[in-house]
Amino acid sequence: MADRHRLTIRSIDPDPRAASVLDGIKQLGLDPVGQIVVADIVFVDGDLENDAQHRLHAVLVDPLLQSGSWATPTTCAVEVTPLPGVTDAGAHAVEHAAHVLGIGIRAAATGVRVEFPDEPSPEAISTVVERLVANDVIERWSHGTVDPFAHLPPNGPTHEADIIPLRSLSDDQLADLNTERGLSLDPEELTAIRSHFDSLGRDPTDVELETLAQTWSEHCAHKTFRARINIVAGPADELGTQRPPLLGQLRQSTESLAAPFVVSSFVGNAGVVEFEPGTTLAVKAETHNHPSAVEPFGGANTGVGGVIRDVLGIAHRPIAVTDILCFGPPELPLDALPTGTLHPRRIRAGVIDGIADYGNKIGLPTVAGAVLYEERYTANPLVFAGCIGSAPTRPLHDGPYPGDRVVVLGGATGRDGIRGATFSSATMDATTGDVAGASVQIGDPITEKLLIDALVGAEDLYSAITDCGAGGLSSAIGEMAEGVGADVELDAVPRKYPGLAPWEVWLSEAQERMVVAVPPDDLDELRARCEHVGVTVADVGEFTGDNILIVRSGGTVVAEIDTEFLHDGRPQREMDAALPEPDRSRATRRVVDDPVDALRRLLQHPNIASKASTIHRYDHEIGGSTVVRPLIGTAADAPADGVVLAPIDTTAGVAIGIGVNPWYGLHDPESMALAVVDEAIRNVVAVGADPDKVALLDNFSWGDPRRASTLGELVAAVDGCCTAAHMYRAPFVSGKDSLNNEYMGSDGERHSVPPTLVITAVAHLPDADHCVTPDLVAAGNVLMMLGSTEPEFAGSHLDLVLGEPAEPGVAPAPDPDAPAMYRKLHAAMRAGLVESCHDLSEGGAAVALAEMCIGGRLGANVDRLPGEDFATALFAESIGRLIVEIEPRRVAAFLRVMDDDATRIGVVTDRLDLRLPGVTPIPVSDLVDWFHHGPDDHAPAGGPS
């Protein structure tokens, strides 16, 4: 068509995306396709005169870097373009350019063209595209050329809500409706809804039913964490008893600790703590597992965006992001991949790109994290994204008040992520990628950046704030309206495109939106402020005061729900748990014939080996507050324990530590919880944080809790968390559970993730000028070990590399002496007695010492290691242990502060080898080499380019 134009833009120098696809072909063992050329395409729908083409060309093509052509290419190629409604920043750029240049166009789009000059078979091309280039969840592609304007979203009804004849449905028909609409409600919940509308004498609209399904979803309502739990199997004294809800247990533990620094816990969007008078920190960690499984880039991308909005949604300026990622093994053969799932390499590449894209563009440092590999994560990768925010201390917002306006800020609404909350709460199967369709979106970090610019400093202009996450406006406005009521008009909500049904607007999970309650007198000022930075403001209604949530479309009421029924009408779940009964009495030992080889394999294990290729993808410097980075040491290539942020003008900072170990969880979920809380706290103590000012976040990613054994493991882990919180006097302030991380294979078998508990410790660091890191500092210094070493190997990385014996023995047990020891260590650090410090975790003492040598590029002569046998001393993973480096002249003082609770194990040397008792000396250069040549090389990117 004459009014459709396309500009193909090629890089003059080789485009690295081509190399990335070729690399992916090699790694996955796909049929070779010869050379590959990648180009960008700009599509314009509009009447472009030659002069207009010329001027657009001048803006979009830099002659030093690129060449561009308006001719339609005919070489052997495929073209990929985002589905209509999927974020296309390039299209916005073209529209902006046309506007500035005064060129009238109707629409713009972008695409990627992948050319195959050697003309391989169409089948070979299709395989490469499906495996490595395009994702049907968000993109369309075709051989030859693609027309991005061909598939605009269908026009549906715009004002009508459907009436669902719920009252006349039998229980079986209710179950069918549940499946058809993807409501993911329990049978008791469906009947409660039916009874409610029976009592009202009318049937619900689709808007009402969908609102209830979202609000009552596992994702939003945490039904399992709020359920009554019957113990149906387990220790005799617990059998037949009932447990209070898990969430209540965690809250109770925080309340009973009564830590003075906790400002707000387990309410609102994030936990809030005040370590130093005058400044509060908001902390939150979220999961984004299901979306990342079907669209890794978009899933992780929007996961980061969501957790940043959580912090913004409690009136704090976001200052840093964390991420913990769990993937299947990168070397998994293609034929071992469950049907309908993406290969771990592609998931990893997409997830890491997605996090980097959002964090880097929004301008937040991504500072702390972990990457874990395990076969059980193949079909269910896990993505935990966290955010920390900071604000001057002020009272928390306590609105909305009747009369306040309901104001939606930020991005426009489309059919994005419809039913995301219910999607997240369901088991996945081979068709998930197809039906999920609209469930995953690509983020728009710039729009969210502008929201931060608009809202930070505007705290006096609103009485309540929340973010639009799962469930969209239905959740955000529904939650704000609790106890006050609201009346909103959907026509006032800005749309990306026409044709959305009312329930779609109401439930859409379009990203980058916030809802604020604004006193009418403040609306003009807020509007001016938002419009100045470029944030769209929509006044969609009013908080009323009558406790009723009314939703209108074109004036017609499409939902009228009592907020009390919406929030308290859900029948409490009652669930059965079979508690695990791990045998903790029989420790078993290990025989390691070749300790050098074992250490080599440990350092090369993807869980332990360098994550540098990932970490360098994230900006960890922006903001200027990063004091201890995730990579430390002379060559900035050794792993840090905790990371530290401190603004340039303050002495104190905040330390962040992570604890996670699903392998312990497979053996003993309660011990795992204690171990990972200990690890997170030990990480922050090791860098110099105050063990008496630590707040914790919990993130549980589990399998289907309706299986009694799975719920039993969750109950045991929550028990461990509560015990640990008391042991360390470290309160939980926020948390998030993601259940049903299961995949129904085409073989009919369920694949569940291992019990995965991520603990984030956020701690006060009194003196950011004197942080301690694990890199050895000077030859001649003394190395000392703190804590006690036992033959605890169940779930150890030694077993992962050498194979687990028939009797794995015990997982690491809690150390009741650890909290007191950490306080003494902190006192020693404050006194300047500690040169370097490293925690012992995966791989035990041998790996910890190796990492300290790598960090300082120095050797160590270790002449004795605690432990009742050789393998225990080197590789056991007992918790509560650290190695410290002390100057010889300060050893006596250090021992005094520690009450002699430290064991001298050796000295730092400049011989550049690691000498362990009974082991051939290992050159530090070998350690460096092994550590850097694990399999964690960066895989090519899938998804959007």
Catalytic residues: 219, 288
User: How far apart, in whole angstroms, are the C-alpha atoms of residue 692 and residue 321?
Assistant: 24
Any contact of residue 534 with another protein (CB under 8 A)?
yes
Task: Specify the stretch interacting with another protein by CB under 8 A; choose among 293-301, 387-395, 531-539, 733-741.
Answer: 531-539
CB of 422 to another protein, least distance (A): 31
CA–CA–CA angle 742, 743, 747 (5° rounding) = 135
Any contact of residue 830 with another protein (CB under 8 A)?
no
Q: Which two tokens stand for residue 667?
A: 């053996």
Q: Which two tokens stand for residue 43?
A: 């599509």
Residue 420: Cβ-neighbour burial (10 angstroms; 0-12, 13-18, 19+):
buried
Amino acid type, 88: D
Which one of residues 772, 821, 828, 833 is an interface residue with another protein (CB under 8 A)?
A: 772
Q: What are phi and psi of 833, to 5 degrees?
A: -95, -10
Any contact of residue 97 with another protein (CB under 8 A)?
yes
User: How far apart, in whole angstroms, are the C-alpha atoms of residue 593 and residue 597?
Assistant: 9
Any contact of residue 773 with another protein (CB under 8 A)?
yes
For helices 708-728 and 669-687, what crossing angle results, to 10°? 30
Strands 4-11 and 66-69: antiparallel
**DSSP secondary-structure letter at 220?**
H
Q: Which residues contact 803 (CB under 8 A, 6 or more apart)?
A: none
Which one of residues 291, 318, 328, 445 is an interface residue with another protein (CB under 8 A)?
A: 445
Task: Specify the stretch interacting with another protein by CB under 8 A; choose among 90-98, 217-225, 265-273, 885-893.
Answer: 90-98
Any contact of residue 146 with another protein (CB under 8 A)?
no
Picking from 821, 779, 810, the residue whose alpha carbon sits closest to that of residue 876 is 810
Contact in structure between 381 and 347 (CB atoms under 8 Å): yes
Task: Specify the stretch interacting with another protein by CB under 8 A; choose among 11-19, 165-173, 719-727, 826-834.
Answer: 11-19
* Closest to another protein by CB, 66 or 903: 66
* Closest to another protein by CB, 532 or 864: 532
Task: Specify the stretch interacting with another protein by CB under 8 A; choose among 14-22, 199-207, 296-304, 753-761.
Answer: 14-22
CB of 549 to another protein, least distance (A): 35
Any contact of residue 20 with another protein (CB under 8 A)?
yes
* Closest to another protein by CB, 103 or 873: 103
Q: Which two tokens stand for residue 389?
A: 């925010």
Which one of residues 232, 777, 813, 912 is an interface residue with another protein (CB under 8 A)?
A: 777
Any contact of residue 16 with another protein (CB under 8 A)?
yes
Q: DSSP 3-state assignment of 847?
A: helix
Any contact of residue 937 with another protein (CB under 8 A)?
no
Contact in structure between 841 and 877 (CB atoms under 8 Å): yes
User: How far apart, in whole angstroms, are the C-alpha atoms of residue 665 and residue 97?
Assistant: 54
Task: Specify the stretch interacting with another protein by CB under 8 A; choose among 195-203, 292-300, 444-452, 695-703.
Answer: 444-452
* Closest to another protein by CB, 226 or 317: 317
Any contact of residue 65 with another protein (CB under 8 A)?
yes
Any contact of residue 775 with another protein (CB under 8 A)?
yes
H or E segment to which residue 554 belongs:
none
* Closest to another protein by CB, 88 or 218: 88
Tell me the H-state helices in 325-471. Answer: 344-362, 420-424, 432-436, 445-455
Give one DSSP letter per residue of 700-734, joined into a string.
EE-S-TTSHHHHHHHHHHHHHHHHHHHHHT--EEE
Q: Which residues contact 639 (CB under 8 A, 6 or more apart)?
A: 610, 611, 630, 631, 632, 774, 851
Which one of residues 82, 90, 318, 417 is an interface residue with another protein (CB under 8 A)?
A: 90
Any contact of residue 89 with another protein (CB under 8 A)?
yes
* Closest to another protein by CB, 645 or 865: 645
CB of 96 to another protein, least distance (A): 6
Q: Give, as ranges, the residues between 580 and 639 that touch another protein (CB under 8 A).
A: 616-624, 626-627, 629, 632, 634, 636
Strand partners, 631: 639
* # of chain residues touching another protein (CB under 8 A): 65
Picking from 110, 127, 105, 91, the residue whose alpha carbon sits closest to that of residue 52 is 105
CB of 428 to another protein, least distance (A): 30
Any contact of residue 527 with another protein (CB under 8 A)?
no
User: How far apart, in whole angstroms, are the C-alpha atoms of residue 508 and residue 503?
Assistant: 8
* Closest to another protein by CB, 151 or 532: 532
Any contact of residue 106 with another protein (CB under 8 A)?
no
Any contact of residue 111 with another protein (CB under 8 A)?
no
Bond preceding residue 400 cis, omega within 30 of 0: yes
Any contact of residue 356 with another protein (CB under 8 A)?
yes
* Closest to another protein by CB, 255 or 525: 525
Which one of residues 316, 348, 419, 449 is an interface residue with another protein (CB under 8 A)?
A: 449
Task: Specify the stretch interacting with another protein by CB under 8 A; choose among 198-206, 358-366, 725-733, 837-845.
Answer: 358-366
CB of 443 to another protein, least distance (A): 10
Strands 742-744 and 428-429: parallel
Any contact of residue 59 with another protein (CB under 8 A)?
yes
Picking from 459, 445, 416, 559, the residue whose alpha carbon sits closest to that of residue 83 is 416
Which one of residues 429, 444, 851, 936 is an interface residue with another protein (CB under 8 A)?
A: 444
Task: Specify the stretch interacting with another protein by CB under 8 A; choose among 356-364, 393-401, 557-565, 586-594.
Answer: 356-364
CB of 16 to another protein, least distance (A): 3
Picking from 937, 880, 876, the residue whose alpha carbon sits closest to that of residue 598 is 876
* Closest to another protein by CB, 402 or 534: 534
Q: What are phi and psi of 569, to 5 degrees?
A: -85, -10
Strands (E) located in 244-380: 262-264, 271-276, 279-287, 317-327, 366-373
* Closest to another protein by CB, 391 or 602: 391
Contact in structure between 896 and 827 (CB atoms under 8 Å): no
Any contact of residue 115 with another protein (CB under 8 A)?
no
CB of 62 to another protein, least distance (A): 5
Amino acid type, 29: G
Q: Give, as ranges, the residues between 750 and 769 that touch another protein (CB under 8 A).
A: 768-769
Task: Specify the stretch interacting with another protein by CB under 8 A; choose among 69-77, 119-127, 530-538, 800-808.
Answer: 530-538
Q: Which two tokens stand for residue 478?
A: 């529904």
CB of 611 to another protein, least distance (A): 13
| CA atoms within 13 Å, Cβ hemisphere of 847 | 29
For helices 595-604 and 844-856, what crossing angle results, to 10°? 70
Query: Which residues are near another protein by CB under 8 A?
Result: 9, 11, 13, 15-17, 19-20, 40, 42, 59-60, 62, 64-66, 89-90, 92-94, 96-97, 100-101, 110, 356, 360-363, 444-446, 449-450, 532-534, 616-624, 626-627, 629, 632, 634, 636, 646, 648, 768-773, 775, 777, 938
